[in-house]
Every structure is written in structure tokens, then in C-alpha cells.
Amino acid sequence: MKKLTTAFLAAAAMTLGFAARGAVYHFDTSGAPKLAAWTDTKLRPVVEQWYPRICSLLQEPGFKPPEEVKFCYREDRQMRGIPAWTMGNAIWLNRQWFEGNLEGEAIGCVVHEMVHVAQAYRRGRHPAPSWVQEGIADYVRWFLYEPYSHGARPNFRNQRTRYDNSYRTTAHFLNYVELKYGGGNTPIYRRLNAAARNAAYSDEFWKVATGKDVAALDAEWKQAFARPPRDELRGRAVRKADAPKRESQEKKDR
């Protein structure tokens, strides 16, 4: 009994709970004691600031996002190598992955997962495409939370790069569409999220939101970021290097 009590008290001491800005948060670090201090001093302030902000970014009339969010560290084998995943209002974090990424993507990863909590997509006969769900989460992360990192630029030389590749690639596409066709009272990404949340997404969304179908937007986006072929770049470099010689020759010919 004494051992059980001691274990229970130890686990309780490693569970951080607090309420802030209309929500309640629980951090269970019993499975990752080395991360307890980092969770309290580094992760907690970001969660407290950004979960309400995410809820505001994805707001829609009549929808109320979860007011309680739970975070729990688990072993890599339990997570099957995945850094983090979300189920309802619970976010599971891979202990080993987080321990190796505290100075890298750890906090950004949590921001991504908090978007999933706030999205609260319905499950049914017509679920939202996963690329929409993950693309919006990475859009919030890479373009609103940490735009300075420039961590979402796709490889536009890859012929397989498409708007629906999900995650960072879709996030980059969403940012392009938002910057070029947004500007109304309701951002395009928020309207897209509302359609997905209510199982009402179809490719017709893009035509209504921008006046162009998604295939045209995809082609336009890739064209905007396309790099010239190497031969053309080499030709430009040669022409630039030869420019002084040409100018000198032109002066002599005058």
C-alpha cells in the first residue's frame, strides 16, 4: 500500500494542471520526468497563449471549441515512431522524439496538434480530406506561429508536388491562395476549415472562394515559385559575366 501511495503521489506531482483564458490544460509528465521542467517553463506559456488564438483563428458561428486540453507523454513504441497525435481533446507526445527536438520542432509540433483539437472535425460518411485537415494545421504553424522559420517551402522541381500533398506543401499552397485571393471579412483558410469541420468540403469550394478551380490554382501556385532550368541559370550567369566585355567592345565600335 505504501508503494502504491508513493507511486500515486509521484505521478500526481508530475501532472501539471492550470486554467487560463477560458480553457483548462493538463500536462501529464509522469512518463517523461526529464521533460517536466521544459514543459512548465517553455511549452506551457505557448499553449496558454496559442490555444485561445487558434480557436479564434478557426472560429465560426455556433461552434464552441473544446475548453479542456490534455497532454500526455508516451514511449516511442507506443507512438509507433510518430512524434505526436491528437484524439479528441487529448494530445499524445512521443517522449523520445521530444527529448531530441527541444531546440528544434518540439513546440511547433504541439501548435500543429492544438489546431487539430480546435478543428474538432466530425466523423461520418463524408469526412474531410486528411490533406485539408493537416494542411490547415501546418498553415497555422508555419505561417502564423513561426513564419520566420520558412519551414514549409516545397520542392517545386519535383513533378509530384501538388496542392494536396498535405502538411507543409498544402500549407504553402494555402498561404499563396490566402495572400493572392484573400482579404475579405473571413479568411479563406477559415472558410475552408468550416467546410471541412461540417463535412461539407468539395473541390467546388475553391471556385466559390477564388473564382478559379483548384487545378488552375495549383498550376498558378507552382508557376509562381518555379525556378528556371539550370541551363537557363547558367546562361544568365555567362551573360552577366560577359557584360563588361560587351560594353567595352561597344565603346570601341562607336
For residue 250, being part of any structural domain is answered with no
Residue 243 lies in a domain: no
CA angle, 134 as apex, 130 and 140 as ends, to 5°?
Answer: 150
Would 93 be classed as within a structural domain?
yes
In a domain, 253, yes or no: no
Residues 6+ apart with CB under 8 A from 85: 79, 91, 92, 113
Considering the domain boundaries, does residue 27 fall inside one? Answer: yes
Print the domain residue range for 225.
Answer: 2-230
Could you tell me if residue 219 is inside a domain?
yes
Residues 38-93: tens digit of each pLDDT: 999 999 999 999 999 999 999 999 999 999 999 999 999 999 999 999 999 999 99
Give percent above pLDDT 70 in the chain: 80
The least confident of 128-137, 163-172, 225-234 is 225-234
Residue 65 in grid coordinates? 471549441
pLDDT value of residue 13:
44
Residue 114 in domain: yes
The CATH number given to whatever domain includes residue 121 is: 1.10.390
pLDDT at 247 over 60: no
Query: Residue 240 pLDDT more than 70?
Result: no
Does residue 71 contact residue 25 with C-beta atoms inside 8 Å? yes
DSSP track, 76-116: HHHHTT-SEEEETTEEEEEHHHHHT-TTTTHHHHHHHHHHH
Domain total of the chain = 1
Residue 130 lies in a domain: yes
How does residue 227 score in pLDDT terms, banded at 50, 70 and 90?
Answer: confident
Mean pLDDT over the full length of the chain: 87
